[in-house]
Structure 1
Amino acid sequence: MTALQERPTSTPAPAVERPGVARTALVLGGFVAIGPLTIDMYLPALPTITRELETTSAAVQLTLTGTLIGLALGQLVLGPVSDAIGRKRPLLAGTALHVLASLLVIVAPNLAVLGALRVLQGVGTAAGAVIAIAIVRDLYDGRAAATMLSRLFLVLGAAPVLAPTIGGEMLRFTSWRGIFAFLAVYGVLMIVVGARLLPETLPPERRQSSGVSGTLRGYRGLFHDRAYVGLVLVAGLTMAGLFSYVSGSAFVYQGEFGLDEQQFGLLFGAGAFWLIGATQLNPVLLRRWSPQQLLVAGTVAGAVAGIALVVLAATGTGGLWAVAGSLWAVLFACGLALPNAPALALSRHGEAAGTAAALLGAVQFGVGALVSPVVGLLGNDAVAIGTVVVAALVLAIVVLVVVVRPWELPVPDDDVVPAAAH
């Protein structure tokens, strides 16, 4: 299926229950939020965990890497499973696994056990990450999908705003282990909400239950789509810019500039404001420009902001606020690119949205897993973050030009209708 085309009218998809836009955004947003909450709530405690477990900052960052690895691997499995048995059951089961892992983290005796349980947490979190995206593709196409994804990226922006702040405030009266108790309670709440309010969006007639061999064939088919592969790589490289900030910011703000845990949470949240702003500006900009144009603009602007960050940090110009401002510019640029790359990629494979979303998410979080230790190896400072941002986004620009060739992709119509109505 070519990019952003509607399904053929000769073979209409069976009607499915389509909830209201607001309810869809709220419920799916709640599940999507599990990921950033799991990743970000314990960030203010990373220096404390380093001291308590008598290890190094680079070693503690591997617990973040483990979560991202679990997210990547879990999506590769859960995406095809949701194509085979429907969306709702694997979504709730994965969230239950996340709850179990969160409870076990509370009693983790050392860094090795903590790291292993963080991988398990990531696998469970993958359900919300990949299946929510697949549900969007079940219900919407083209610009409508990009708009709904922008709403979900509002959650991905708001959750990091709240997560370190909540985590920092919780550390006033509990240890870092109490943060994982909170995550377990939140997971239970989402299971109840999902069971009651979320309909099944993939009817039996549209499911693909072809077993392991069929799943592998599905992935092989995706790799044969040059533009899809390129868009997935661009999404992953853009996410690398975001995760370089996530993995290194605690050490930059607290180590380089001497902020405490609560101050870090507030400044980290202020940065996420710019990510939110860009994702919510995206639907407005889509009225005038295509997703392809916004994707190109976001990656180029992010690379320029990353270069500014490296120069300012390396020369010591402007201090804390120069570094923070450059980081916020990077986040704003990533916010423009992030909703459009997945929307363009998934619109090419609506017939296997779960598998397509799984590969997309696996690459995004797999790249994030690689970025976290790289920032640590480069020194866990602002120059290290900027270096990773520049490398990732310059490479994304190269992939756009050489592989994706956005000028060759068809521009979506303004009035693309929800997929479930076709």
Structure 2
Amino acid sequence: MVIKSETNSLDIKILLILAFFIFVSAAAMDVYIPAIPSIQEAFHTNQENMQITLSIFVLILGLGQLFSGSISDQVGRKKVLIFSGCCFILGSISCALSHSIQMLIVARIIEAVGSCGITVVTFAIARDLFDGKSLSSAYSLINCGLGLSPLIAPIIGGYLTRWFGWRSTFSFVSILGVVLLLFAVFTVKETLVNAKKISIKTLVTGYYQVLCNHDFVSYSVFSIVGMSVFFAFFSVSPFIIIKELEIPEYEFGFYYFLVGIFFICGSYATSKLAQVFSNYILALLGVIGTIFSGMIMLFLYLFYKESIISFIFPSVAAVFSCALMLASGTGGAMMPFKEQAGSATALLGALQFLICAIVGYWIMSCEQQELIYYLSLSIISLGSFALFVALVMKSFSNERDRLIKIK
């Protein structure tokens, strides 16, 4: 991988590698989901402890980005990527060898440390290489790796569990980590031009400066809402599809496949539309689509018989819409930053995953027999908040233009 030239055009080879990195990071969350019942039975533990293995991963993924982003700004992208890859492999192997739920949780923490570093460095590399509209297009194509994980990882995990047992799911992730590490060592070259030594005071000041940027705060809301809607579906769908709708466990991965297809379509559509429309317009389209999807899901739940079709149909519409928000929101939030790309990416990622963890925890704490109802309310509420922010942004922009004309 080399630094992009001034033409700033998209390099498919680079983007495929970065998308693979994101896929590997996301697969650590997706591939073991079908194995959760088997793990629960093997360790003789309860559902709450199994939920911790997912929640702790998301929390570490969010908090860890605050440090890995700034570190990558100091020592470079490649070193952090290699270290993160090693942690990822170590954590995955430890998960496969776990003999208790406590050991599995600790191993998931190590795995999450590696995953968060991989995620931050991947998007920071993209920010180093691309700019302008090409940056939004690059983020959209990289996010296809995120959509590809729920597309195929649960299916792979289901069959691995059925044929070889639950430990094979973590062994598979370990192999992906080894491939990633080989790319990091032999293919990826350093993309950070000017590395800087950063003190804790400078780090805090840098995060404060990022948070004071109006565009970052505004567009990050779209990105966070898009990610939260996707994660909300991810968290509750196994319980809805398997328990409420009584779909066999080995089949539910195919419904993830369908959802992943629409997420990829949304990301790809954003990459093309970003060449014509602004990030604001694309985010607004995603917001409107999300709200309507949540309303349709709620209407079908309240007035029609509960079925897999009535659940999946509005879900894929919501996921498509949140892909629009996620890509355009991330592109808009990162646009003002070049030297602080790692720190800005880390802060955005931390906010995304922390809010995702809160949303997921809230939904899972609700009545288990009415998860579709609470999921639809969450989608509508998140979308409505994003719409409010979009309207405030428009009002602020109009007022700023008016003041400029007066001056």
Cα distance in 1 for residues equivalent to 2:117 and 2:250: 31
Residue aligning to 2:131: 141
Residue aligning to 1:296: 284
**Cα deviation code 1:384-409 (max 9, x no counterpart):** 32222222222222233336868569
1:402 partner letter: V
In structure 2, runs of 5+ residues without a counterpart are: 401-407
**Cα deviation code 1:72-118 (max 9, x no counterpart):** 12211110011111111101111110111111112323333322322
Deviation of 1:359 after TM superposition, in Å, equals 0.3
**Cα deviation code 1:3-27 (max 9, x no counterpart):** xxxxxxxxxxxxx733971221121
Cα distance in 1 for residues equivalent to 2:197 and 2:174: 32
Could you tell me the TM-score, scaled by structure 2's length?
Answer: 0.91
Contact map agreement 2:3 2:129 (CA 8 A) in 1: no
Q: What percent identity do the matched residue pairs reach?
A: 25
Residue aligning to 1:128: 118
Contact map agreement 2:215 2:332 (CA 8 A) in 1: no
* 1:229 is the counterpart of 2:217: yes
* 1:321 is the counterpart of 2:309: yes
* 1:271 is the counterpart of 2:259: yes
Q: Which residue of 174, 178, 182 maps to 1:188?
A: 178
Q: Which residue of 316, 322, 341 maps to 1:334?
A: 322
2:207 partner letter: Y
The SS at the match of 1:344 is helix
Cα distance in 2 for residues equivalent to 1:407 and 1:279: 26
Measured on the aligned residues, the alpha-carbon RMSD in Å equals 2.0
Cα distance in 2 for residues equivalent to 1:234 and 1:102: 32
2:266 partner letter: A
Deviation of 1:54 after TM superposition, in Å, equals 3.5
Residue aligning to 2:403: none
Deviation of 1:369 after TM superposition, in Å, equals 1.5
Contact map agreement 2:98 2:104 (CA 8 A) in 1: yes
**Cα deviation code 1:5-52 (max 9, x no counterpart):** xxxxxxxxxxx7339712211211121112220111111122333343
The SS at the match of 2:339 is helix
- Aligned pairs for 1:258-407 (under 5 A) are 258-317=246-305, 319-380=307-368, 381-402=371-392, 407=397
Contact map agreement 1:222 1:228 (CA 8 A) in 2: yes
Contact map agreement 1:302 1:330 (CA 8 A) in 2: yes
Residue aligning to 1:6: none
Deviation of 1:261 after TM superposition, in Å, equals 2.4
Change over 3 Å in CA distance of 1:259–1:406 after alignment to 2: farther
Please identify, of 244-253 and 310-319, the stretch whose mean Cα deviation from structure 2 is larger.
310-319
Contact map agreement 1:235 1:342 (CA 8 A) in 2: yes
- Aligned pairs for 1:16-31 (under 5 A) are 17-18=3-4, 21-31=11-21
* 1:198 is the counterpart of 2:184: no
Residue aligning to 1:215: 203
Please identify, of 212-221 and 398-407, the stretch whose mean Cα deviation from structure 2 is larger.
398-407
The SS at the match of 2:149 is helix
The SS at the match of 2:190 is coil
Residue aligning to 2:404: none
- Aligned pairs for 1:14-163 (under 5 A) are 17-18=3-4, 21-163=11-153
Q: Larger relative contact order (C-alpha < 8 A, sep ≥ 6)?
A: 1
Cα distance in 1 for residues equivalent to 2:112 and 2:394: 30
Could you tell me the TM-score, scaled by structure 1's length?
Answer: 0.88
2:152 partner letter: L
**Cα deviation code 1:332-362 (max 9, x no counterpart):** 1011111110111111111200000000111
Deviation of 1:232 after TM superposition, in Å, equals 1.8
1:359 partner letter: L
Residue aligning to 2:405: none
Please identify, of 235-244 and 367-376, the stretch whose mean Cα deviation from structure 2 is larger.
367-376
Contact map agreement 1:227 1:404 (CA 8 A) in 2: no
Please identify, of 295-304 and 52-61, the stretch whose mean Cα deviation from structure 2 is larger.
52-61
In structure 1, runs of 5+ residues without a counterpart are: 1-15, 411-422
Contact map agreement 2:223 2:330 (CA 8 A) in 1: yes
Contact map agreement 1:80 1:355 (CA 8 A) in 2: yes
Contact map agreement 1:349 1:356 (CA 8 A) in 2: yes
1:337 partner letter: M
Deviation of 1:62 after TM superposition, in Å, equals 2.1
Aligned residue pair count: 393
Deviation of 1:127 after TM superposition, in Å, equals 1.5
1:228 partner letter: F
Cα distance in 2 for residues equivalent to 1:202 and 1:294: 30
**Cα deviation code 1:273-304 (max 9, x no counterpart):** 11111111112222332111010110121111
Cα distance in 2 for residues equivalent to 1:360 and 1:272: 23
Cα distance in 2 for residues equivalent to 1:78 and 1:409: 38
Cα distance in 2 for residues equivalent to 1:238 and 1:314: 25
**Cα deviation code 1:115-162 (max 9, x no counterpart):** 232222111101121111111111111210011111101111112101
Change over 3 Å in CA distance of 1:405–1:292 after alignment to 2: farther
Where does structure 1 differ by over 4 angstroms across 4 or more consecutive aligned residues? 403-410
Please identify, of 106-115 and 33-42, the stretch whose mean Cα deviation from structure 2 is larger.
106-115
Change over 3 Å in CA distance of 1:312–1:182 after alignment to 2: same
Contact map agreement 1:299 1:396 (CA 8 A) in 2: yes
1:374 partner letter: W
Contact map agreement 2:4 2:130 (CA 8 A) in 1: no
